[in-house]
Amino acid sequence: MPGRLTLCATPIGNLEDITFRVVRALREADLIAAEDTRNSIKLLNHFDIHTPMTAYHENNRYDKGRQLVDKMLSGTNIALITDAGTPGISDPGEVLVELAVEAGIEVTSLPGPAACITALTMSGLSTRRFAFEAFLPMEKKERAVVLEDLKAETRTIILYEAPHRLVRTLGELRDVLGGERRISLCRELTKKHENVQRTTIDAALEHFETEAPRGEFVLVIAGKSFRERKEEEQEFWKKMTVEEHMAYYLDLGTDRKEAMKQVARDRGCGKREIYAYLNKNT
């Protein structure tokens, strides 16, 4: 019988956050795949876990991933841990899960700490809908595309950022989202010096331009309000003539009556106004 892959969430700062179930799973596994064995050995020693470990990280995620899959197909039960938090969220565990699923191996995930959810729930911003972007791409063009997509995002946005890149990222967010956008900057989560700054992007940038950022950050940013988005859409459509606006929907195959309704909605006016205008100008 093949083994299975168990994703084990580990503490993001406070060792008391590990679950009894994760400790048991780590003890019962045949092998633990760890992002950094030097870091993970401290966790295993603390909980008196003596299961063998092997390194599975960004640089070997495909080659080592296939080796681990072969082991599981041969009956080995593997527990996967990341340096902190839930495996598979912005780390190479995502690849191992994909390879295991493709090979028909059973995959299960044990709930536990996740920095993105911890920060979101204490941010003071809307939690009903959110977009998790993890770290922004480093490549300039790809980064610009992602930032531009976030410009219209109405959901709460969650980003990860390292201290040495924080000021740059805040500057880019100000340019794209506006300096008045609300933001919560969370760091040292679950640790003794846990800190959350609930402020605006402008104020955060001003603060960290004079005080060096310390620690890894989770940025939770308010999404664009539906009112703001609607106003921007209306401004966009009003740059077109009514005739061009109608032609847009007619070219999509929309019938004339429905096209007039949609044009009126887009421009924030009544259908009768559009009807009267078109009749007057035909």
Q: Could you tell me the fold of the domain covering 116-224?
A: 3.30.950
Residue 77: what pLDDT? 98
Confidence of residue 227 (pLDDT cuts 50, 70, 90): confident
Percent of the chain with pLDDT over 90: 77
Residue 282: what pLDDT? 61
- Note every long-range contact of 15-21, with CB atoms under 8 Å and residues 24 or more positions apart, other chains counting: 15/43, 15/46, 17/112, 17/113, 17/190, 18/43, 18/47, 18/112, 19/110, 19/111, 19/112, 21/110
Nearest to 107 by CA among 136, 142, 86, 78: 78
Nearest to 129 by CA among 153, 155, 158, 159: 155
Residues 6+ apart with CB under 8 A from 98: none
What's the burial of 215, exposed, middle or buried (CB within 10 Å: 0-12/13-18/19+)?
A: middle
Residue 185: what pLDDT? 98
Q: Residues 54-105: pLDDT tens digits?
A: 999 999 999 999 999 999 999 999 999 999 999 999 889 999 999 999 999 9
Residue 238: what pLDDT? 80
What does the mean pLDDT of the chain come to?
Answer: 93
Query: CB of 25 within 8 A of CB of 4?
Result: no
Output the six-digit token pair for 274: 């559009």
Cα separation, 246 vs 225, whole angstroms = 27
Q: Could you tell me the fold of the domain covering 4-113?
A: Cobalt-precorrin-4 Transmethylase; domain 1 (3.40.1010)
Nearest to 15 by CA among 84, 111, 115, 82: 84
Q: Residues 167-180: pLDDT tens digits?
A: 999 999 999 999 99
Residues in the chain: 282
Pairing of strands 78-81, 106-110: unpaired
C-alpha distances in Å from residue 271, one per residue of 24, 257, 262, 275: 65, 9, 8, 6
- Please indicate whether residue 224 or residue 204 has the higher confidence score (pLDDT): 204
Q: Residues 179-195: pLDDT tens digits?
A: 999 999 999 999 999 99
pTM over 0.85: no
Pairing of strands 106-110, 130-135: unpaired
Cα separation, 150 vs 224, whole angstroms = 9
Residue 200: what pLDDT? 97
Domain ranges of the chain: 4-113, 116-224, 227-280
- Please indicate whether residue 23 or residue 152 has the higher confidence score (pLDDT): 23
Confidence of residue 26 (pLDDT cuts 50, 70, 90): very high
- Please indicate whether residue 259 or residue 109 has the higher confidence score (pLDDT): 109
Residue 39: what pLDDT? 93
